[in-house]
Every structure is written in structure tokens, then in C-alpha cells.
Copies of this chain bind each other. A is one copy, B any other.
Amino acid sequence: MPLDLAVLVFDLLGTFAFAISGALLAVQKGFDVVGSLLLASLTGLGGGVIRDLLLDQGVPNAFAEPLYLVPVVLAVLIVLVGLVHEGRLHRTLLVFDALGLATFCVMGATIAHTAGLNPVAAVLLGVTTAVGGGAMRDVVANRVPQIVDPDGVYATPTFLGAGLAVLLLELELFGAPAAVAVALLVFAARLLAVVRGWRLPLASMR
């Protein structure tokens, strides 16, 4: 699979996963179906739109390519009819959010690196792409964003994922298989952090 196509497939998959998380939160909050569509769009497309705005290369993909609406609408429908729903352990949203994080940190870093940014900037853009949509979802739904919630290691795996992706890109070892492997690693790290209750040190040692 050529890298262009792989990037597109990955980006659509991440969009779908984040859109599911947005639609699930819409159900929790009692939103109607259009509110769900807007929250799913913001979550699924938001990170990529921020990435494209920062790269300053014309109209963001999410607006220029109607194809990006397909995973969003699909996610809203799937949640609407109840094919995916929040379980008793409240972890369905977390799993889809983790899948979005995993794909978007790799994709954001790859797209930024391909656009010619320096490695550090590419890592930062990968992290921003990964956490941006979820942060806007949480702000609009009026809850403290998971990025700053100490109950769980959230952004750290995306630093690892974006860092690894950029390292492999610099070493010219990157391709679709490497992207999948790094994304799976991030996904596993995020889920393990939730299941095992991993914590990081607090912001103050006092």
C-alpha cells in the first residue's frame, strides 16, 4: 500500500474512532441527533483541522474532502441505533478515544514531517493532532478535558507514538507496517494505563 493511501485510511479510521467517542458522549449528555453529529464532527475532525491550520497549507482536509464526512456520519448512525453503546464499566468511550489517539498521533507526526517540519515540531504536531479533537469535545460538553485529568495517563502515550514515528521517519524505516505497529503500541499503552490505574507524579512535589 503506498504511503498516501495508508495515510488516508489511517486518518479516516482515527476520525471514525474519535467520532464514536463524541457520539457516545452526546448520548451520555442527552444531546439530540444533530448535537451528536456536531460533537462527533468536532471530535473526529477537530484534531486534523487544528493540524492543517497550523501547517498553513490551504483549506483543511476535513473541509476540502467530503470523504471525511463518511466516518463521522457512520459513527453517529452506529451509536444512534445502539450497535456501539456505553457499557456498565464506562469504557467503550475510552477504548474508541484510545484508538483515535493512537492513529492521530502517528498520522499527525507523519503529515507534519512530510510537510517539511523539523523533528521536534513534527512530534508536537502529532501530539496536538491526537489530543486536540478530544479536548474540544470535552470543552464543548463542559467537562474537564481528559488531557489534564490526573485520573489516567492520557497524553503521554501520544508523545511516545509521535516520537517513535518521527524517529522511524528520520531513519527512513517508516511505512504502513511501522505506522500500524506504533499505533498499536500507543493504543495498548493507553488501555493498560486505564486498566492498571497508572498515575504520573503530580504537578507539584510540595
Write the residues of chain A forming the contact surface with B, with a CB cutoff of 8 angstroms: 23, 26-27, 29-36, 38-39, 49, 53-60, 63-64, 66, 69, 76, 79-82, 85, 117-118, 120-121, 124-125, 131, 135, 139-145, 147-150, 153-156, 159, 199-206
Contacts of A56 in B (CB 8 A): 56-59
Contacts of A140 in B (CB 8 A): 135, 139, 144-145, 147-148
Q: Shortest CB–CB separation between residue A74 and chain B, in angstroms?
A: 14
Q: Shortest CB–CB separation between residue A78 and chain B, in angstroms?
A: 11
Report the bound CA distance from A38 to B57 in whole Å: 25
- Residues A120 and B69 in contact, CB atoms below 8 Å apart: yes
Return the chain B residue nearest A67 by Cβ. Answer: B120
**Cβ contacts A to B, 9 pairs, < 8 Å:** A26-B148, A34-B156, A34-B159, A38-B147, A53-B53, A80-B205, A82-B204, A140-B148, A141-B148
Q: Shortest CB–CB separation between residue A81 and chain B, in angstroms?
A: 6
Q: Shortest CB–CB separation between residue A77 and chain B, in angstroms?
A: 10
Return the chain B residue nearest A148 by Cβ. Answer: B35
Known: A53-B53, A141-B144. A204 touches B85 (CB 8 A): yes
Contacts of A153 in B (CB 8 A): 34
- Residues A35 and B79 in contact, CB atoms below 8 Å apart: no
* Partner pick for A53 among B31, B54, B117, B202, CB 8 A cutoff: B54
- Residues A31 and B82 in contact, CB atoms below 8 Å apart: no
Q: Shortest CB–CB separation between residue A143 and chain B, in angstroms?
A: 7
Return the chain B residue nearest A131 by Cβ. Answer: B38
- Residues A155 and B117 in contact, CB atoms below 8 Å apart: no
- Residues A150 and B31 in contact, CB atoms below 8 Å apart: yes
Contacts of A38 in B (CB 8 A): 131, 147-148, 155
Contacts of A205 in B (CB 8 A): 80-82
- Residues A148 and B203 in contact, CB atoms below 8 Å apart: no
